[in-house]
């Protein structure tokens, strides 16, 4: 049995380049596989390995034992897999930990209002709220929350165009957005606030946290949640559905 850690945190990292090799060596020693992105704005990744090794890695991120700083507000989710679903380890220096490409977007300065999984249903069933899925179109095709708007994206960097073309006249409307693990909503909400939207809410921990915390009988989620590895899709309780293949979509085996 392998343990999987999906994690991110926005935090200023003046020496992001200097963190790459220490984390590469540490993860290699633990025999972890997957991808970790390091940028001046923070970290983002999904790693898998023996349960004890993943636990040690998560603890090291949060206490700064590998290299400062400590990621004390890490958004971290665990799941399990029967087999290893990454082939190798990649620790990479990037300009952004999730590519958006808009200077107005700064999650280190402002983001929308976080909504817990437990409070999410009440928010999205409010008739005054517009629910927006910030993921790519093929991801939405596998599953979404009831009534959510699909922006029809082929990449997250197109979200700014969607806002301009379809939401620019709704700056006073309550907007609730969600994504796989929460990171895309950090950037999307920051961008929308910078553009004058006043009430932006987003699901803390994303779909994965919701599927983990909310019983299926109470859930408003329909379908599966696509993930970019050999698990392919996750359902309630983060149960893997590897048979849920989406034609034409590459799976990251790392």
Contact between residue 177 and residue 205 where contact means Cβ atoms under 8 Å apart: no
Distance (Å, rounded) from C-alpha 51 to C-alpha 185? 29
Please identify which of the residues 105, 179, 185, 225 carries the catalytic annotation: 179
**Could you tell me the two tokens for 216?**
């299926």
Q: Which of 205, 199, 160 is CA-nearest to residue 9?
A: 205
Contact between residue 34 and residue 101 where contact means Cβ atoms under 8 Å apart: no
- Annotated active-site residue 179? The verdict is yes
User: Any idea which residues carry the catalytic annotation?
Assistant: 179
């Amino acid at each position: 049995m392998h343990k999987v850690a999906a994690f991110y945190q926005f935090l200023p990292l003046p020496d992001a380049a200097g963190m790459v090799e220490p984390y590469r060596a540490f993860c290699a020693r633990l025999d972890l596989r997957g991808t970790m992105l390091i940028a001046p704005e923070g970290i983002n990744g999904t790693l898998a390995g023996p349960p004890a090794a993943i636990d040690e890695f998560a603890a090291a991120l949060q206490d700064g034992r590998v290299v400062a700083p400590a990621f004390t507000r890490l958004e971290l989710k665990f799941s399990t897999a029967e087999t290893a679903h990454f082939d190798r380890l990649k620790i990479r220096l990037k300009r952004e930990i999730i590519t958006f490409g808009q200077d107005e977007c700064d999650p280190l300065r402002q983001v929308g209002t976080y909504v817990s999984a437990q409070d999410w249903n009440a928010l999205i069933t409010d008739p005054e709220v517009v629910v927006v899925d910030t993921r790519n179109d093929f991801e939405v095709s596998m599953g979404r929350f009831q009534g959510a708007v699909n922006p029809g994206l082929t990449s997250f960097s197109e979200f700014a165009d969607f806002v301009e073309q379809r939401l620019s006249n709704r700056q006073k409307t309550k907007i609730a957005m969600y994504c796989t693990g929460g990171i895309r909503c950090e950037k999307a909400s920051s961008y929308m606030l910078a553009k004058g939207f006043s009430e932006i809410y987003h699901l803390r921990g994303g779909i994965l946290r919701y599927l983990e915390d909310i019983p299926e009988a109470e859930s408003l989620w329909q379908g599966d949640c696509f993930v970019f590895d050999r698990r392919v899709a996750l359902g309630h309780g983060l149960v893997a559905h590897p048979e849920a293949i989406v034609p034409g979509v590459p799976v990251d085996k790392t």
